[in-house]
Amino acid sequence: MPRPAALALSMLLPAAALAGDAAAQESAAPLSNITVTAERAAPAEELVLPPDHIITVTIDGLPLRLLVTAEASGPAAVNPEIAAQLGWAGTFRMMWDFGAGDPLRSDGLWKDVDFGGQLKAVPVMWSKNPASNVADGVIGIHNLPYRRVVFPLAEASGEQHVQRFPIAQIGSDRARTLGTEIDTGDRRIQVYFVLERPENLVTAPTANYLATRFDGGFEPGSEGKVTVGFGVERRTRAMRLARPLELGDMMIDRFAVRYDDHGKAKSVGEIAPNDPRFNPQEIIVSRRKKKGKADFLTRIGRAQIAHCSSLTYDLAAGEIRLACGPAPH
60-83 pLDDT, tens digit each = 999 999 999 988 989 999 999 999
Which amino acid makes up residue 7? L
Average pLDDT over residues 222-240: 91
pLDDT at 251: 94
257 phi, psi to nearest 5 deg? -110, 120
The residue type found at 64 is L
Residue 29: phi and psi, rounded to 5, are -145, 155
Domains 11-27+35-147 and 152-324 equal at CATH topology level: yes
Selected from 2.40.70.10, 2.30.30.360, 3.30.750.24, 3.10.20.30, the CATH number assigned to the domain covering 11-27+35-147 reads 2.40.70.10
**pLDDT of res. 231:** 86
Sorted by where each begins, the domain ranges of the chain are 11-27+35-147, 152-324
Q: Give the closest residue to 183 by CA, choosing from 127, 128, 247, 234.
A: 247
Give 285-304 pLDDT, tens digit per residue: 444 555 555 567 899 999 99
Say which residues have a Cβ less than 8 Å from residue 32's Cβ, sequence separation at least 6: 8, 9, 10, 13
The reported pLDDT for the residue numbered 288 is 53
The answer to whether the beta carbons of residues 108 and 28 sit under 8 Å apart is: no
Distance separating alpha carbons of residues 151 and 134, to the nearest angstrom? 17
**pLDDT above 50 (res 219):** yes
pLDDT tens digits along 121-164: 999 999 999 999 999 999 999 999 999 999 999 999 888 999 99
Lowest-confidence segment of 71-80, 164-173, 233-242 by average pLDDT: 164-173
Average pLDDT over residues 227-239: 90
Give yes or no for a contact between 241 and 235, defined as CB atoms under 8 angstroms apart: no
What mean pLDDT do residues 110-119 have?
96
The percent of residues above 70 in pLDDT, for the chain, comes to: 79
Query: Of 194, 154, 151, which is closest to residue 311 (Cα–Cα)?
Result: 151
- Please report which confidence band the pLDDT of residue 96 belongs to, taking 50, 70 and 90 as the band edges: confident
Q: In 3D, which of 65, 139, 101 has the Cα closest to residue 262?
A: 101
Average pLDDT, integer, range 219-237: 91
Mean pLDDT of the chain: 83
Whether the Cβ atoms of residue 196 and residue 94 lie closer than 8 Å to each other: no
pLDDT for the residue 4 = 32
CA–CA distance, 10 with 49 (Å, rounded to integer): 30
pLDDT band with cut points at 50, 70 and 90 for residue 274: low
In CATH, what number does 152-324 get? 2.40.70.10
Q: pTM for the full model?
A: 0.81
Q: Give, for 81, the enclosing helix (H) or strand (E).
A: helix 80-86
